Amino acid sequence: MAGVPRTWVRLPPPPPCFYMRSITHILALLVVLFLAALPAQAQPAGTVTFSFDGNVAQVPRFGSRIELMPVLQLIGAQAGYSQAAGTYVIQLGNHQIQITPQVRFALVDGELEKTNDAAVVSPGGIAVSESYLDRVILSPFAYHLERSGAGYRIAPGAMVAPVVTVRAAAADFGTTTTLVLTLSRHVAVTVTAGAGRELLVHFSDARPQLDGSLPMRSRRIVAIRAAANTLKIELAPGQGLLASHQLTGPDRVIVEVGRRPPTPVPTPVARARKPKRPTIVIDPGHGGADSGAVSASGLEEKVVSLAVATRLATLLKRDGYVVRLTRAGDETRALTDRTALANRLDAVAFISLHANASTVSSVRGAETYYMSLHDATDAHAAETARKENAAGAPGRRGGSQLDLILWDMAQARVLNRSALLALDIQRQLNSFLDLPDRGVKQAPFVVLTGATMPAVLVEMGFLSNPAEAGQLADPAYRQRLAEALARGIEEFLRSSS
Amino acid sequence: MIRRVLLIVAVLVALAAIAFWALRPGGFARKTTASLTPVPAPTPTPAPETRVMLLFPGTDGALHPELRTVPLPAELNQRVRVIVSQLLAGPTARLLPVAGYPARLLDVFIDGRGNAYVDLSSPPQPLTGSFNELMLAYSIVDSVLLNCQELKGVQLLFDDHEVQTLTGHLDLSRPLALNKSFIAAQ
Ligand SMILES: [Zn+2]
């Protein structure tokens, strides 16, 4: 019987002749058994003393955890259980926390938060660890746990600064870049120039957490990192802080970045001189420890993608393009590093090559994808911009409302051109493979996120389909595939130049 | 006679066990401490039979609709559970299963921003191929969003964990919006 506490009273086994007696005796035994179990639960093995605002409660332990309900009662929180959702709803003041036993997530004021451990079902309803109580339950209510003798004191003030989610978006203009940091709530911030090429955005009494959902498209901002109460923004060489201001409704920090006139930083010669011939970055998918899909005969996606990429590079170089591969051999490369290389080289196109797999072996065909514009967070950003325009929110700078729109437009322009590149490549693949046109599709691919140039992902065929796996293993087929891809890329570049 | 008595004893013990489990505070009649004011739990209403459109992958790499009449609860979280469970149960027509492995629905959360989080059991062996990833994600995302208009996005979780990607292609680290490019043209 799972769930019965260890203090369950065990009666000695009855003698065999017992069963021969009347059913009344058996019923009596069951009642005794049942009643014996009840008080056993009301007195768990150990308790922990909790004090809050002069009141004290003895809170029962449940294994390594403590019962939550008496603690909530002590601080005056309301709690309820939604049977439909299997969730406990805890309310105090304006804050609401929803927790589900056995789940390492909690909804804190409507935001999903990861937790280090899970709450569990207990005799008192639900039990949590001390750290869970402190971080997940008490912190949103601006309380924290303090050791007090053998027990705890619940004291005011959140131990860890509450999180503020930051969504970063950047737009490059002629000589400046506008960085828009959208905050999930109002927090006072100060923006200062840090050491070297770093900008520091300091949050008072809040821990910034980067949303990372919007692609960063900037040549002047290299990276953004969150560290404790600060957001560190790494700038490209020669760039500095020009201005910053904070806006409300929605809460945003606008940071202007550009070349600082008084202290010109010498830029490397290589960066100043742009390559005369356009650069194309080809990304052989997967590599190193990540083999990708594998055919029944053992042919690996990483091998196929590199083989076709190498042939494609040779063809494009022959036609006068500068070509760089994101990996030259069987190496592991982070997905974000691949697009970053293309951004750094100011490439005119980014092509990620892959071979597909399905659990159904009859599935076959090639397909070209490009980045999705209409994902939930982009829609959210657009909605924010619309809302601000409708409300006519006062911006200290007239351009602030325009920034988001311009950023949206810049993003839309890159996506439109990605769609054209995808269409040109798919058209060539269709005629080469003689397959019915499936059109091109959009989705948020990790490797395409953040690309500042037309970027596509090509699935060249299914390794799970025996016929296509055979073709993808054939050097002559790989060559013809590379030729079709080169025709598509060059057609796009010719028509767009 | 002995056998009969033993049988009755067995039945009674089972009944007592069920009653004991049900009445204990952590049982299905779980209650919060009496003095706490309970937040009203959603009242269970009989779910009316509703026609839902489920999207299943085809061998053409597109999602194809299958109409099913199912009891659909009014409560959003429950509705998402029904849609996903129906999808995981598999197609009836000549379409493909949503997941390339026997995926189970572990949980569903709804946040305050119109996003649903669908927690699935993770694949026993790592999946490969963008096809498997795209079909699994958008069967669920598009089916849920088409049948639950109040939602804006759906994020897939695996074994209670957020993942960046499942096969190294699609970004699953955030909620996905309705993607009509995968829905087959009629
Ligand atoms: Zn791949």
> Does residue A339 sit in the same domain as residue A455?
yes
Which pLDDT belongs to residue A93?
82
**Closest CA in chain A for residue B59:** A363
Which of A132, A156, A180 is the endpoint of a domain? A156
Mean pLDDT of chain B: 83
Which pLDDT belongs to residue B10?
56
A416 touching B (Cβ < 8 Å): no
A305 touching B (Cβ < 8 Å): no
Q: Which of A27-36, A91-100, A187-196 has the lowest mean pLDDT?
A: A27-36
CB contact under 8 A, B33 and A124: yes
Q: What total number of domains does chain B contain? A: 1
> Does residue A327 sit in the same domain as residue A444?
yes
A389-421 residue pLDDT tens: 444 443 333 344 455 555 566 667 788 889 899
Which of A203, A231, A259 is the endpoint of a domain? A259
Residue B89: other Cβ atoms inside 10 A: 12
Q: Which of A104, A97, A95 is nearest to A68 (CA)?
A: A97
The answer for A 446-475 residues in CB contact with B (under 8 A) is 446-447, 449, 457, 459, 462-464
Beta strand A151-156 with A143-148 is antiparallel
Domain membership of residue B29 (yes or no) is: no
Average pLDDT over residues A419-439: 86
Helices (H) and strands (E) in chain A, counts: 10, 27
> Does residue A194 sit in the same domain as residue A294?
no
Segments forming the whole domain that contains residue A185: 163-259
Which pLDDT belongs to residue B13?
54
> Does residue A395 sit in the same domain as residue A302?
yes
- Distance, CA A354 to ligand 1 centroid (Å)? 4
pLDDT band at A269 (very low <50, low <70, confident <90, very high): very low
Bigger pLDDT: A256 or A109? A256
Q: Which of B184, B119, B101, B179 is nearest to B155 (CA)?
A: B119
Domain of residue A490, CATH code: 3.40.630.40
> Does residue A285 sit in the same domain as residue A431?
yes
Token representation of residue A210:
């980067």
Average pLDDT over residues B143-164: 94
> Does residue A345 sit in the same domain as residue A452?
yes
**Closest CA in chain A for residue B130:** A356
> Does residue A237 sit in the same domain as residue A191?
yes
> Does residue A170 sit in the same domain as residue A144?
no
B102-138 residue pLDDT tens: 999 999 999 988 999 999 999 999 999 999 999 999 9
Q: How far apart are the first and last CA of chain B?
A: 69
- Distance, CA A238 to ligand 1 centroid (Å)? 38
Q: Which of A124, A77, A128 is nearest to A102 (CA)?
A: A128
Bigger pLDDT: A266 or A68? A68
A117-133 residue pLDDT tens: 889 999 989 999 998 99
- Using DSSP, state whether A294 is helix, strand or coil: strand
- Distance, CA A335 to ligand 1 centroid (Å)? 11
Percentage of residues in chain A having pLDDT higher than 70: 75
Bigger pLDDT: A206 or B118? B118
Q: What total number of domains does chain A contain? A: 3
Which of A259, A290, A323 is the endpoint of a domain? A259
Bigger pLDDT: A449 or A34? A449
One-letter amino acid at B177 equals A
Percentage of residues in chain B having pLDDT higher than 90: 65
CB contact under 8 A, A443 and B138: yes
Which pLDDT belongs to residue B26?
40
Asked if residue A278 has pLDDT above 80, the reply is yes
Sheet arrangement for strand A47-52: A120-122, A125-128, A65-67, A55-62, A47-52, A151-156, A143-148
A94 touching B (Cβ < 8 Å): no
Domain membership of residue B111 (yes or no) is: yes
Chain A environment of B38 (Cβ under 8 Å): 78-81
Answer for the pair A223, A197: CB distance below 8 angstroms, yes or no.
no
A149-184 residue pLDDT tens: 889 999 887 666 678 888 888 877 777 788 888 888
Domain membership of residue A10 (yes or no) is: no
> Does residue A255 sit in the same domain as residue A348?
no
Domain membership of residue A224 (yes or no) is: yes
Residues by chain with Cβ below 5 Å of ion ligand 1: A 285, 292, 354
Q: What is the ipTM of this complex?
A: 0.76
Segments forming the whole domain that contains residue B175: 49-182
Chain A environment of B141 (Cβ under 8 Å): none
Which pLDDT belongs to residue B9?
54
Domain membership of residue B162 (yes or no) is: yes
Q: How far is B69 from chain A (nearest CA, A)?
A: 22
Distances (CA, A) of A105 to A69, A87, B119: 19, 11, 11
Asked if residue B92 has pLDDT above 50, the reply is yes
CB contact under 8 A, A114 and B33: no
Domain membership of residue B154 (yes or no) is: yes
Beta strands of A123-278 (E only): which ranges? 125-128, 143-148, 151-156, 163-172, 176-183, 189-193, 198-203, 207-210, 221-227, 230-235, 239-247, 252-259
Mean pLDDT of chain A: 79
One-letter amino acid at A82 equals S
Q: For residues A238 and A257, what is the distance between their CA atoms, to the nearest angstrom?
A: 10
Residue A279: other Cβ atoms inside 10 A: 17
Domain membership of residue A379 (yes or no) is: yes
Whether omega for the bond prior to residue A123 falls within 30 degrees of 0, making it cis, is: no
Residues ≥6 apart with Cβ < 8 Å to A350: A280, A281, A283, A339, A342, A448, A451, A453, A454, A455, A456
Domain membership of residue B61 (yes or no) is: yes
B53-66 residue pLDDT tens: 999 999 999 999 99
Asked if residue A497 has pLDDT above 60, the reply is yes
Domain of residue A143, CATH code: 3.30.457.10
